[in-house]
Amino acid sequence: MEKETIKKNLLEDAKTLVNQEMLNDFRVKYLGKKGIVTELSKEMKDLDGEGKRELGKTIQELKSLVEETIFTVGKELHDKALKERLEKEAIDISLPAIPVVEGGLHPLTKVVEEIEDIFVSMGYDVVEGPEVEEDLYNFEKLNLPKGHPARDAQDSFYIEDESILLRTQTSPVQARVMDANEEKGPIRIICPGKTYRRDDDDATHSHQFTQIEGLVVDETISIADLKGTLEIALKKLFGSQREIRFRPSFFPFTEPSLEVDISCFKCGGTGCSLCKETGWIEILGSGMVHPNVLRNCGYDPEKYTGFAFGLGPERIAMLKYGINDIRSFYTNDFRFLGEFKRKDGDR
């Protein structure tokens, strides 16, 4: 075949190549074992001198043309395929992301942690005690012997016989810590935990609830320490503008006993529905540790004195967050729990 015809055909063929398969066939057609250019080069052996050089040049030119075509068309095909794939697999970044469900702390956990932080910053240790408790610690050592009328207010769930029960208060942790202290030295603790009472559940009562107990025992502890400590803690918890009021009360394990109120944070003390028009909100019970309790736990009441307090995180959370049904804490309604999700800056 004439050199010019081959070239013309080759250029015509090159225009028709639209896929990798055709590109392969094209290569075979010209450069394969029996390809047109290969066949042409077989003619070399019959030539010499000028003719050989001429043919050599032609073959070289045709080969280059084939290779260039394969290279350029191959690249075009590859780019086109890539473009199509990118378009097909494109991620639509305008689509809204699937929301990540983020957990949050339970409101009671938040209140307990806040109170722990306040007391830990004053040097207290956090101690926990058992929920299944002995009558000995829950009542007896706390100056509530069998038959004491104050036991009636704390009806419990008994385990097997009447000596083991679900603790009705966190106060037994006081007795446990004093008992376990071998040197009978100073103590400064708070004890958060679950407590149980045989109660009919309603908006303000729950058969299971939480308490935080506090106990300080040392050689020179006076009622001034109790008042100062609780005043600082309650102002940190409810705001420095709060006024604190101490009222005489009765608990078997303290003498004297004091009920602690804060000025109403809703009306500022003028009287509203939250404080039942009194201007004051009852927050916790406290008192100087009864000498009998110290004695029951191996402490010499002539040498040691102490103060104790007990508060209910449910009540504090209800007041702080305006919750009006205690059962909301335990029914696991996500709409309720979601209200307390950690906000930026929360611990």
**What are the residues binding ligand DAH (CB under 6 A)?**
169, 171, 213, 251, 254, 285-287, 308-310
Task: State in angstroms the smallest separation of the CB of 105 from ligand DAH.
Answer: 24
| DSSP code for 250 | E
| Terminal alpha carbon distance of the chain | 88
Q: Between 69 and 254, whose beta carbon lies closer to ligand DAH? A: 254
Rounded Cα gap, residues 61 and 72, in angstroms: 16
Q: Between 70 and 191, whose beta carbon lies closer to ligand DAH? A: 191
Of 254, 244, 246, 263, the C-alpha closest to 217 is 254
Of 43, 35, 91, 42, the C-alpha closest to 63 is 35
The closest residue (CB) to ligand DAH is 310
Q: Between 210 and 328, whose beta carbon lies closer to ligand DAH? A: 210
Q: Between 286 and 328, whose beta carbon lies closer to ligand DAH? A: 286
Of 4, 2, 20, the C-alpha closest to 12 is 4
Task: State in angstroms the smallest separation of the CB of 217 from ligand DAH.
Answer: 12
Is the N-terminal amide bond of 256 cis, ω within 30° of 0?
Answer: yes
Of 120, 285, 128, 140, the C-alpha closest to 194 is 128
- Check: CB of residue 262 under 8 Å from CB of residue 319: no
Task: State in angstroms the smallest separation of the CB of 257 from ligand DAH.
Answer: 6
Q: Between 210 and 286, whose beta carbon lies closer to ligand DAH? A: 286
